[in-house]
Structure 1
Amino acid sequence: MEQHAIEIGGELIRFQLRRSQRKTMGISVSPDQAVVVSAPEKADFADIESRVRKKAGWILDKQAEFSTRSVQAAPRQFKPGETFLHLGQQYRLRVDPDRVGVVREGSRIIVGAIRSNESDRIRNRLVRWYMKEARQHLPAALERCLPVFRKEVERRPKLLIRPIKMRWGSYISATHTLILNRSLVQVSPPLIDYVVSHELAHVGHGDHGPAFTAYLTEKMPDWRTRKKALEKLGPELFDAPVLR
């Protein structure tokens, strides 16, 4: 197979070109992040390169997903001493039957009015606490990012915060709604802002093609660095989305 590489939006995509008797062109990404382009024997390389460029967003997304899935995090036990993230900072879990509610205090997240061996109840209380925190902090991220997109996003989208199984966020154009994963409250504000900006960029660009990439780069030049940091951190987060 032939080895090729194309630079697209500052990203270098390396791919293997496999020619055969097939009539159509196809692109696949394997779990080791290798890219294979299958093309007809007589296909012009310019057409092959054009197809790779059009699918660049999809290729990079699949490579990122496989990269994230390759990192296995230890399952949570929801026991005192475990660490949990909040806005990018680590806190150690403490359970105190004499306290009420869930609070951050110093370097700890304290779950009150419960025993340390009640892991299911500890988890449930943390879920409710993280949702409460997300509703406080994620709207602020939208307000931080909107001015950069003010010319293209003329009115503030409706914001919903949800547990999302396979995404950090989503933009629904039909209702002008931005949906953010509640798990984002665990990461640092710059990474939250990346997700918000990514979704706001979809207001004018429905896919992840070259136009979308150029537009997001204009609005947030370092988005790739933030994206990689989020992907690396993802498996360490409690209740984070499972990307496939």
Structure 2
Amino acid sequence: MIVVGGREFRVAVSGRRRRLGLTVERDGSLVLRAPQGCDAERAETFLREGETWLADKLRRREDHPPAHPVREFRDGETFAYLGRAYRLQIGGEEQTTVRLVAGRMVIGKGLVRDPVAARRALIGWYRGRGQRWAQGRLQPWAARMEVREPDIVVRDVGNRWGTYRPGDGARGTMALHWALFQLPAHLVDYVIAHELAHTRISGHGADYWSLLRQAIPECEERKTELDDLGRRLWLGDFRERA
């Protein structure tokens, strides 16, 4: 940790980085991403020079705070998939999985009796469907950006929508948050392209955005839309029925 200007920053060190980077996570925490060997004086100078940018970012976050909904597992509740809202329908006792049937998201009656199990089943459904969908989108974006295709997994990645880790192999691994697949497809594509750019460039400097614009010229607009819609996604919070 490092404290500058009365603010606390978590320091994440990476051997792949060449430049310093600063991010505001979805939970409001501040992360300074630094290359190995970066000294404290260089880090503090970077943070002080970025104070205006950070203050503006935090002010916009305060004006538009997260509003993640709480869901109830009952007939008629809505859950989104790739930008479309689906009504929940309670199925039979024997059904142990979640399925899309005739425009409805159907979940078994036995699962609904245990909200923890229902939550686990729904998140598992998003992970499975999201994995298959994203796998089919990876090759076209990688080809457009002329980067290698990493392995891909869908899981809970905490306060980020996606991550890329080079790992021990040549491909590396892209991880996408399961909740991401509630968003419209063009925003999921944006996150996929965003992480693919990191297979070549670790930071978010000018060269990074130049590579991303090669695939998505309107990437800044998509980022703004993601920031807006992302703060209203269901992240798994549920309300137990009385």
Which category of TM-score, normalised to the shorter sequence, fits these structures?
0.5 to 0.7
For residues 137 and 174 of structure 1, the distance between their equivalents in structure 2, rounded to whole angstroms, comes to 23
For residues 235 and 113 of structure 1, the distance between their equivalents in structure 2, rounded to whole angstroms, comes to 30
For residues 199 and 61 of structure 1, the distance between their equivalents in structure 2, rounded to whole angstroms, comes to 25
Residue 117 of structure 1 deviates from its aligned partner by 4.6
- Give 1 or 2 for the bigger CA radius of gyration: 1
1:163 paired with 2:159, answer no
Q: Which residue of 2 aligns with 1:33?
A: none
Alignment of 1:121-132 (within 5 A): 121-132=117-128
For residues 212 and 60 of structure 1, the distance between their equivalents in structure 2, rounded to whole angstroms, comes to 23
> Cα–Cα, structure 1 residues 187 and 61, in superposed 2: closer, same or farther, change >3 Å?
farther
Q: Which residue of 2 aligns with 1:76?
A: 71
Say if 2:88 and 2:105, in contact at 8 Å, map to a contact too: yes
For residues 183 and 108 of structure 1, the distance between their equivalents in structure 2, rounded to whole angstroms, comes to 18
Q: Which residue of 1 aligns with 2:32?
A: none
> Cα–Cα, structure 1 residues 110 and 171, in superposed 2: closer, same or farther, change >3 Å?
same
Q: Which residue of 2 aligns with 1:38?
A: none
**CA displacement 1:170-209 (0-9 Å, x = unmatched):** 1113442222222222222211110011111122221112
For residues 188 and 60 of structure 1, the distance between their equivalents in structure 2, rounded to whole angstroms, comes to 30
Q: Which residue of 2 aligns with 1:90?
A: 85
Residue 116 of structure 1 deviates from its aligned partner by 4.6
User: Which ranges of structure 1 fall in alignment gaps of 5 or more residues?
Assistant: 1-26, 30-50
Q: Which residue of 2 aligns with 1:172?
A: 165
**Local SS of the residue matching 2:213:** helix
For residues 127 and 232 of structure 1, the distance between their equivalents in structure 2, rounded to whole angstroms, comes to 22
Pick the aligned partner of 2:139 from 139, 143, 160.
Answer: 143
Say if 2:141 and 2:193, in contact at 8 Å, map to a contact too: yes
For residues 66 and 81 of structure 2, the distance between their equivalents in structure 1, rounded to whole angstroms, comes to 21
Aligned residues: 190
For residues 61 and 104 of structure 1, the distance between their equivalents in structure 2, rounded to whole angstroms, comes to 42
Residue 213 of structure 1 deviates from its aligned partner by 2.1
Residue 167 of structure 1 deviates from its aligned partner by 0.8
Q: Which residue of 2 aligns with 1:210?
A: 206
Alignment of 1:4-83 (within 5 A): 59=54, 62=57, 66=61, 70-83=65-78
Moved more, 191-200 or 62-71: 62-71
**CA displacement 1:186-242 (0-9 Å, x = unmatched):** 2222111100111111222211122222322232111122222222222332227xx
For residues 185 and 84 of structure 2, the distance between their equivalents in structure 1, rounded to whole angstroms, comes to 11
Q: What is the identity, as a one-letter code, of the residue corresponding to 1:196?
A: I
Q: Which residue of 1 aligns with 2:239?
A: none
Say if 1:97 and 1:115, in contact at 8 Å, map to a contact too: no
Root mean square deviation, CA, Å: 3.4
Say if 2:94 and 2:108, in contact at 8 Å, map to a contact too: yes
Moved more, 209-218 or 84-93: 209-218
> Cα–Cα, structure 1 residues 107 and 67, in superposed 2: closer, same or farther, change >3 Å?
farther
Q: What is the identity, as a one-letter code, of the residue corresponding to 2:229?
A: L
For residues 208 and 87 of structure 1, the distance between their equivalents in structure 2, rounded to whole angstroms, comes to 27
> Cα–Cα, structure 1 residues 66 and 167, in superposed 2: closer, same or farther, change >3 Å?
same
Residue 118 of structure 1 deviates from its aligned partner by 3.5
Say if 1:130 and 1:182, in contact at 8 Å, map to a contact too: yes
Pick the aligned partner of 2:229 from 211, 220, 233.
Answer: 233
